[in-house]
Amino acid sequence: MTPSIQQLTPQSSSRPAIQTHGLRKVFGEKIAVKGLTLEVAQGEVFGFLGPNGAGKSTFIKMLLGLVAPTRGEAFVLGHAAGDVNARKKVGFLPEHFRFYDWLTAAELLRFHGRLYGMTDSQLRKRVSELLDLVSLWPHREKRLREFSKGMLQRIGLAQALLNDPELIFLDEPTSGLDPVGRRLVRDIIRQQRSRGATVFLNSHLLSEVEITCDRVAFIKHGEMLETRRLQEERGSEIDVLIRAQNWNTAILEGLAPWALSICGEGERLTLRVACAEALPEIIRYLVSQDVKVYEMTPQRTSLEDLFLQIVGEDGGL
Ligand SMILES: Nc1ncnc2c1ncn2[C@@H]1O[C@H](COP(=O)(O)OP(=O)(O)OP(=O)(O)O)[C@@H](O)[C@H]1O
Ligand SMILES: [Mg+2]
């Protein structure tokens, strides 16, 4: 069964999905979130990254109205955080997913659906679609206490999507999942992006974040260190590694129109180019010169390297 996708029509394209100003939370002596100011646009897939204890989950809970801020302001879909009008349009997969474990998977979704005010006929359709989406249809009558960690994570995801949310918070959605489950989360995020929803993702699995997010923020000790756009900026320089045979110095000199620098040794050519548009031209030229090109790999700094550069290797605890 293919889930029906309800396309969103943005209320006002300029209104941010999330807007906070100086949002702060102190638990006793502990400053969990230190006055965070952040804006997430509608339709963005946003990664919120930071070491253990950085304040990520606390920040999400304040946006959902589950934790009262000590100071500052937060708006979600144009409403004050926690307002019922925002909560109706928000989905949430909590970090520690604990539900009434005597319920079956289908009962849990029906229970949450009724809380959203869904009718029995809406629920019948939606619950079946979602159980199918997260591959739990064969386990729909099983009680949650018999579920594995990954199965709980899957039913949690289904629960987060019940109300066709405009904004979805996923706090460590892949932590208990096998590779198939991780791909499922990735596909769900893509699907949500294409229907116009905003996704706010907390994850330590940076390779997943790298593939799925448009923009990330790095936080540590409750403070924002930096935000970064992950898509390659058009016009920015790229280092490229080419593995090739049959080249010579004269051929390399012919690459001058595209390459800012070139270094060749054995089968390895390393080039710096001004922008990605140069890459197909370089391949075309090399092939025209009878060079055997086996591999061309842009050398990017991985998100993990970036995380360690920005956050530091000492962690946050
Ligand atoms: N209810 C609470 N009472 C007291 N301290 C808390 C509470 N909730 C969180 N904290 C503290 O606030 C800090 C931030 O915690 P939070 O759970 O937001 O971190 P996190 O970034 O989500 O970490 P992780 O990556 O481990 O999930 C931690 O030092 C934590 O011990
Ligand atoms: Mg957390």
Terminal CA-to-CA distance of the chain, rounded, Å?
Answer: 45
Buried (b) or exposed (e) across 3-17, using 16+ Cβ within 10 A?
beeeebeeeeeeebb
Are 228 and 216 a contacting pair, CB within 8 Å?
Answer: yes
Cα of 32 vs centre of ligand 1, distance in Å, is 6
Digit-coded pLDDT (tens) for 280-305 = 999 999 999 999 999 999 887 788 88
User: Which pLDDT score is estimated for 164?
Assistant: 93
User: Which pLDDT score is estimated for 275?
Assistant: 84
The residues of the chain scoring below 70 in pLDDT are 1-5, 9-13, 232-235, 315-317
Q: How far is CA 99 from CA 115, 134, 145, 167, in A?
A: 14, 17, 9, 22
User: Which pLDDT score is estimated for 298?
Assistant: 84
Q: How far is CA 188 from CA 148, 185, 224, in A?
A: 21, 5, 28
Which atom of ligand 1 has the smallest separation from the CA of 61? 18
Q: Where does 52-104 have alpha helices with state H? A: 56-64, 84-87
Cα of 55 vs centre of ligand 1, distance in Å, is 6
Digit-coded pLDDT (tens) for 168-223 = 999 999 888 888 888 889 999 999 999 999 999 999 888 889 889 999 999 999 99
Residue 99 neighbours by CB under 8 Å, 6+ apart: 108, 144, 152, 155, 156
Closest Cα to atom 10 of ligand 1: 32
Rounded Cα gap, residues 262 and 247, in angstroms: 13
Query: What are the residue boundaries of the structural domains of the chain, listed by start?
Result: 12-233, 235-303
Rounded Cα gap, residues 228 and 48, in angstroms: 11
Which residues are 199's β-sheet partners? 45, 168
| CATH architecture, domain 12-233 | 3-Layer(aba) Sandwich (3.40)
Closest Cα to atom 5 of ligand 1: 27
Which of 57, 62, 123, 64 minimizes the C-alpha distance to 90?
Answer: 64
CATH tag, 235-303: 3.30.70.980
Which of 168, 224, 216 minimizes the C-alpha distance to 191?
Answer: 168
Cα of 169 vs centre of ligand 2, distance in Å, is 12
User: Which pLDDT score is estimated for 304?
Assistant: 87
**What is the enclosing helix (H) or strand (E) of 192?**
helix 179-194
Are 255 and 285 a contacting pair, CB within 8 Å?
Answer: yes
Give residues (CB < 6 A) around ligand 1: 27, 30, 32, 50, 52-58, 95
Rounded Cα gap, residues 290 and 283, in angstroms: 11
Q: What is the 3-state secondary structure (H, E, C) of 97-144?
A: CCCCCCCEHHHHHHHHHHHCCCCHHHHHHHHHHHHHHCCCHHHCCCEH
What is the sign, positive or negative, of the torsion defined by CA atoms of 223, 200, 170, 188?
A: negative
Cα of 14 vs centre of ligand 2, distance in Å, is 30
